[in-house]
Structure 1
Amino acid sequence: MADSHKISFEPVNLEMDVHEDENILDAAFRHGIHLMHGCREGRCSACKSYVLDGEIQMENYSTFACNDAEVDEGFVLLCRSHAFSDCTIELLNFDEDELLGGVPIQDVRTRVVAVDPMTRDIVSLRLTPIEPEKFEFKPGQYADLHIPGTEEHRSFSMATTQSNTDEVEFLIKKYPGGKFSALLDGRLAVGDELSLTGPYGSFTLKEGHVLPVVCIGGGAGMAPILSLLRHMNQSENTRPVRFYYGARTADDLFYLDEIQQLGKGLTDFRFVACLSESADGSVPGSVTVEQGMVTDVVARHEAAIGKTEVYLCGPPPMVDAALALLDSSSVPKDQIFYDSFTSPLFS
């Protein structure tokens, strides 16, 4: 058994033990402490924190997420940090309501009930939990799907909500040569079993908040946003909602009918399909289509975006462009929510 040390978190006055062979973020999950996190791969900065006291070492992280100067000052990424003494850590980004209110991490055995192509490169994978019989998560979160016969996994967001107790849907983008993508090209069949671990992520609708919601998505980033919209519809949430979805062409759009139907149960809902390459193609007349990058379309329509909460999910370049737009628009960071994924590592 590896040596164990005590971690004290400030300014929230929480303590836990951590083994030297586990990272601090995973130890927090084990204790039911829901720290802010994103990719869990050392490639984003969602879990960046500051070491006030103690010995911590990081491994296998990106200097874009935590550069050398920050490391020298004492900043760390908790998903890549191991403690080798008792430590005191200052959390820089946290939600007091979720710290001890997160859904516990579960290992779930599931069975495939459907593998349906949605576009030329996005597939709907539907799973039903076997053991346990229900997978608990919050709308907008994601899970690790384990690749059979390996120790590898890939992370994908759930598109469903907790009302779908017998089925969990993932919208997955296929990448050429991707290990999980290969499963979706005929190797994974209805009736096969898959294991998942989760839920993870902080891309969740904040209870009690009243600001209008702006969703910006692209590609398989449709999944967590669809989960949020389904949840808001089911819970009769009255916050105004706008959804901007970026795709290349009309052939890359999907779930348009359901989005329009969900919008009928939402307050002041508007959906705009943003096509970067061509606006030609068959799209229902009730769907608003604009040519251009999704961030350019958002900039044209959302002059008061600083007075909204913004939920982002899509390819890393889209998320980076959206974050730059929000920064230039002076949107407070505590009004921006996203989980960072890297591709094709997650393909």
Structure 2
Amino acid sequence: MADTHRIQFEPVGIEMEVDEDDKILDAAFRQGIHLMHGCKEGQCSACKSYVLEGDLQMERYSTFACNDAEVAEGYVLLCRAHAFSDCTIELLNFDEDELLGGIPIRTVGTTVAAIEPVTGDIVSLRLRPAEEFDFRPGQYVDLTIPGTDEHRSFSMATIPAGPAGEIEFLIKKYQGGRFSGLLDDGLAVGDELSMTGPYGSSTLKDGHVLPVICVAGGAGMAPILSILRHLVATGSTRPVRFYYGARTAADLFYLEAIQELGAELTGFEFVACLSESAQGADGLQVEEGNVTDVVDRREAELHRSEVYLCGPPPMVDAALTLLEASNVPKDQIFYDKFTSPATDGA
């Protein structure tokens, strides 16, 4: 049986226990401590922290997320770290409201309710949980690939009070994808899937008053739809602008749903940003170019807004560069950085 050690998190003064076999981030989740996190696979740096005292060792991780010099200095990725003594860890990024007030992470069974294509490469997957499953707009879950211990992360497009209790996911198909390949041949209505979550800190913050700017691409539409639906359901009066990046008009979807949501929001504006061709986009507000370039052209006061991002990693990286250049405070930027399915076999 593995030894158990005490972990002290500073500067928040929170303590917990962790077994040597358990990764620190996973142990924190189970004990109701919601640390900042992203990919949970050692590929991003969202959970990077600093070891003040103690013996920690990491499983395999990307040196892009934590390089050798940082490791030598004492930095660690909590999603890959195991404790072999009592430890004191300094959290570099944390949300005080979320730390002890997040929704408990748990695993529930679900039944496939619908699988429907919405574009040539994006599919709507609707699941019906076997029990009530709460989450916040903008969060995601891990869906287990049937017959394996592997999982893939997908954001919810709905809010918890969705129709018939169903939760919708928008999933981009990739050639050879382990999970997305099942959407064409392998999953059917009535099949069962295991779902674990909710994860993610890119959540809409109730009580905030700044205008909301949403920037998305591809299947990143999902968490933005969840955020828009929550704003409508709560009667929010915050101005909202939604920039969605696609290649052509044929890659746009759910336009009617967006229009209906926008009609219930204050100062809502939806801008389709088409990087290759604007042909066939009649009746839409369209800007040509990459979505981040369009945002740069149209938003002169980004620093006076809260910005929510979701999309392919290159889009998120480009948006973060733009937001930094625009002097947007970090506590006004919300995103969960997923690893690229093109490299991890989604």
Q: Write the distance in 1 (CA, Å) between the matches of 2:158 and 2:230.
A: 8
1:120 aligns with 2:135: no
1:307 aligns with 2:300: no
Give the corresponding residue for 1:336: 333
Measured after TM superposition, the shift of residue 324 of structure 1 is: 0.8
SS of residue paired to 1:209? coil
Measured after TM superposition, the shift of residue 207 of structure 1 is: 2.0
Give the corresponding residue for 1:174: 173
Q: Write the distance in 2 (CA, Å) between the matches of 1:43 and 1:95.
A: 21
Q: Write the distance in 2 (CA, Å) between the matches of 1:2 and 1:346.
A: 32
Number of residues of Structure 1 aligned to a counterpart in Structure 2:
343
Q: Write the distance in 2 (CA, Å) between the matches of 1:121 and 1:248.
A: 12
Matches within 5 A, 1:20-31: 20-31=20-31
Measured after TM superposition, the shift of residue 343 of structure 1 is: 2.0
- 8 Å CA contact 2:49, 2:78 repeated in 1: yes
Amino acid at match of 1:266: L
1:134 aligns with 2:124: no
Measured after TM superposition, the shift of residue 282 of structure 1 is: 4.3
SS of residue paired to 1:109? strand
Q: TM-score, normalised by structure 2?
A: 0.97
Question: What are the superposed Cα offsets for residues 32-56 of structure 1, whole Å, 9 maximum, x if unpaired?
Answer: 0011111101111111111111111
Q: Write the distance in 2 (CA, Å) between the matches of 1:57 and 1:274.
A: 44
SS of residue paired to 2:79? helix
Question: What are the superposed Cα offsets for residues 199-244 of structure 1, whole Å, 9 maximum, x if unpaired?
Answer: 1111101122111111110000000011000101111111111110
The gaps in structure 2 that reach 5 residues or longer are: none
SS of residue paired to 1:267? coil
Q: Write the distance in 1 (CA, Å) between the matches of 2:137 and 2:41.
A: 22
Q: Write the distance in 1 (CA, Å) between the matches of 2:309 and 2:151.
A: 23
Amino acid at match of 2:330: K
1:238 aligns with 2:222: no
SS of residue paired to 1:25? helix
- 8 Å CA contact 2:44, 2:339 repeated in 1: no
Amino acid at match of 2:170: L
Matches within 5 A, 1:209-288: 209-283=208-282, 285=283, 287-288=284-285
Q: 1:186 to 1:194 in 2, by over 3 A?
A: same
- 8 Å CA contact 2:176, 2:345 repeated in 1: no
Question: What are the superposed Cα offsets for residues 61-98 of structure 1, whole Å, 9 maximum, x if unpaired?
Answer: 11111112221221111111111110011111111111
Q: Write the distance in 2 (CA, Å) between the matches of 1:231 and 1:110.
A: 23
Measured after TM superposition, the shift of residue 275 of structure 1 is: 0.4
Structure 1 runs of 4+ with >3 Å offset = none
Measured after TM superposition, the shift of residue 254 of structure 1 is: 0.4
- 8 Å CA contact 1:154, 1:346 repeated in 2: no
SS of residue paired to 2:111? strand
Q: Write the distance in 1 (CA, Å) between the matches of 2:276 and 2:140.
A: 29
Give the corresponding residue for 2:77: 77
Amino acid at match of 1:157: S
Give the corresponding residue for 2:14: 14
Identity of aligned residues (%): 73
Give the corresponding residue for 2:158: 160
- 8 Å CA contact 1:127, 1:169 repeated in 2: yes
Give the corresponding residue for 1:145: 143
Q: Write the distance in 2 (CA, Å) between the matches of 1:267 and 1:101.
A: 29
Q: Write the distance in 2 (CA, Å) between the matches of 1:98 and 1:346.
A: 31
Amino acid at match of 2:329: P
Amino acid at match of 1:41: E
Of 320, 336, 341, the match for 1:323: 320
Matches within 5 A, 1:89-128: 89-128=89-128
Give the corresponding residue for 1:295: 292
Question: What are the superposed Cα offsets for residues 254-307 of structure 1, whole Å, 9 maximum, x if unpaired?
Answer: 011111110111111111000001101145x1x311110000000001110011
Question: What are the superposed Cα offsets for residues 155-186 of structure 1, whole Å, 9 maximum, x if unpaired?
Answer: 10010101116100000000001111221003
Q: 1:243 to 1:346 in 2, by over 3 A?
A: farther
Q: Write the distance in 1 (CA, Å) between the matches of 2:318 and 2:141.
A: 25
SS of residue paired to 1:230? helix
Which deviates further from its counterpart, 160-169 or 175-184? 160-169
Measured after TM superposition, the shift of residue 248 of structure 1 is: 0.5
CA RMSD of aligned residues (A): 1.0
Matches within 5 A, 1:46-61: 46-61=46-61
Q: Write the distance in 2 (CA, Å) between the matches of 1:140 and 1:262.
A: 16
SS of residue paired to 1:60? coil
- 8 Å CA contact 2:213, 2:241 repeated in 1: yes
Amino acid at match of 2:222: A
Q: Write the distance in 1 (CA, Å) between the matches of 2:3 and 2:167.
A: 38
